Copies of this chain bind each other. A is one copy, B any other.
Amino acid sequence: MDFDLLRFAAGYPYNLDFDYGALSQLQHFSINNLGDPFIESNYGVHSRQFEVGVLDWFARLWEIERDEYWGYITNCGTEGNLHGILMGREVFPDGILYASRESHYSVFKAARMYRMECVKVDCLTSGEIDCSDLKKQLLANKDKPAILNVNIGTTVKGAVDDLDLVIKTLEENGFPQDRFYIHCDGALFGLMMPFVKRAPKVSFKKPIGSVSVSGHKFVGCPMPCGVQLTRMSHIKVLSSNVEYLASRDATIMGSRNGHAPIFLWYTLNKKGYKGFQKEVQKCLRNAHYLKDKLRDAGISAMLNELSSTVVFERPHDEEFVRRWQLACQGNIAHVVVMPNVTIEKLDGFLEELAEKRKLWYKGSGGDGVAPSPPCVAVDIGSENCDCGLHK
């Protein structure tokens, strides 16, 4: 298997940048961060200093003071969503959860786990939340507080919900700041967005309650992990019922992998803000290259402005899909352009796809028997569709 292809799938890297020589020695130790990173534990082999260092880094990135945030390094993006949405429910026990249809499935799983009323909001073709539908849904449920999941990069299309417009929609429709809670699911793009020029800011200076991001995608940690940050004032709500919980531990998992914080800390400090900025710019440039080349070749494709996820027609052949580790949904597939995906790699992919399409769609449009490229207008808009009808 060509491991370099893996980032094609969903942003999971085979990371070439780590100095494993030194770090791999860590595997000799059972490092376990038990419970709350800010509360001392009796277990001696932990990496809480690194964990707090990583959290401080993200606190600076998302603009919240050190003494005003609480957070921890999670096992994955899903745990961040589970925590953020639980936080919202604890702040507003009778709140309704609003999430766009293209939100990650863990959001709807959380609603079921937590026995929350959940409203699915429509999306624009881009995959962004449709704020006119959000308005309609909010007005239909004016009597209950709103808990919102805002996507900073949806799973399939990499769409970034317009946080400012979501806040405006809330405030203009009878939901002042003390009647809503916003969790930002930043799985992949939560870390990339801050380095994109002109991108709307994810910031705790805005009335948001929590942000989560994956650590094993763009950052490239070799084990699944994530970062979850929220406001100290919210966590107090969760931790208040100590007698009931029999613990001051406000995390979801009790034991947490202690290696992940060290890998994260190492990468964040080695690359630095400047290093990430450079990598993000490269990803966006290469994603544009891929999208343009696809369109030039007459292949349906879309790229959201703030994203490095290129969405295109699902390849006809499952063998091709497997070989290139493409994630598919219905008639579309996507490539998440991560730092290790080079122009050369993309050229190889484009060339092979063009060759294969000639075989798959040979004689298409003629006798009506040979298969034609799928119409994906409903998925990515007719302006991006190159099917027989829309080209």
Chain A residues within CB distance 8 Å of chain B: 1, 3, 6, 9-10, 12-15, 20, 23-24, 27-32, 42-45, 75-79, 82, 86, 104-106, 108-109, 112-115, 214, 216, 220-224, 241, 244-247, 249, 252-257, 259, 321-322, 325-328
In the assembled complex, the Cα of A182 lies from the Cα of B319 at a distance in Å of 44
Contacts A32-B216, A43-B12, A115-B114 given: A109-B245 contact, CB under 8 Å?
Answer: yes
In the assembled complex, the Cα of A257 lies from the Cα of B1 at a distance in Å of 20
Min distance, Cβ A85 to any Cβ of chain B, angstroms: 11
Closest B residue by C-beta to A226: B255
In the assembled complex, the Cα of A6 lies from the Cα of B106 at a distance in Å of 36
A14–B43 CB distance below 8 A: no
In the assembled complex, the Cα of A257 lies from the Cα of B79 at a distance in Å of 13
In the assembled complex, the Cα of A45 lies from the Cα of B223 at a distance in Å of 12
A244–B28 CB distance below 8 A: no
In the assembled complex, the Cα of A224 lies from the Cα of B86 at a distance in Å of 23
A222–B12 CB distance below 8 A: no
B259–A1 CB distance below 8 A: no
Chain B positions within 8 Å of A82 at CB level: 252
Contacts A14-B30, A44-B1, A45-B3 given: A253-B76 contact, CB under 8 Å?
Answer: yes
8 A-B pairs besides A14-B29, A78-B255 with CB distance below 8 A are A1-B45, A15-B30, A29-B222, A32-B224, A76-B254, A105-B246, A108-B245, A223-B259
Give which listed residue, B9, B20, B115, contacts A115 with CB less than 8 A. Answer: B115
In the assembled complex, the Cα of A253 lies from the Cα of B328 at a distance in Å of 21
A105–B249 CB distance below 8 A: yes
A-B contact pairs, 13 of them (CB 8 A): A6-B44, A9-B43, A10-B43, A12-B32, A29-B222, A30-B222, A31-B223, A42-B321, A78-B253, A104-B254, A105-B246, A109-B245, A115-B115
B78–A244 CB distance below 8 A: no
Contacts A42-B326, A114-B115, A325-B42 given: A222-B28 contact, CB under 8 Å?
Answer: yes
Chain B positions within 8 Å of A253 at CB level: 75-76, 78-79, 224
Min distance, Cβ A158 to any Cβ of chain B, angstroms: 16
Min distance, Cβ A236 to any Cβ of chain B, angstroms: 15
Min distance, Cβ A6 to any Cβ of chain B, angstroms: 6
Min distance, Cβ A297 to any Cβ of chain B, angstroms: 24
> Which of A30, A106, A259 has the most C-beta atoms of chain B within 10 angstroms of its own C-beta?
A30
Chain B positions within 8 Å of A252 at CB level: 78, 82
Min distance, Cβ A379 to any Cβ of chain B, angstroms: 16
Give which listed residue, B13, B224, B255, contacts A216 with CB less than 8 A. Answer: B255
Closest B residue by C-beta to A257: B223
Chain B positions within 8 Å of A220 at CB level: 30
Min distance, Cβ A78 to any Cβ of chain B, angstroms: 4
A247–B109 CB distance below 8 A: yes
In the assembled complex, the Cα of A172 lies from the Cα of B30 at a distance in Å of 45
A45–B108 CB distance below 8 A: no
In the assembled complex, the Cα of A15 lies from the Cα of B78 at a distance in Å of 30
Chain B positions within 8 Å of A327 at CB level: 42
Q: Which 9 A-B pairs have the closest CB atoms?
A: A224-B255, A76-B255, A78-B254, A105-B247, A105-B246, A115-B115, A75-B75, A30-B222, A24-B24
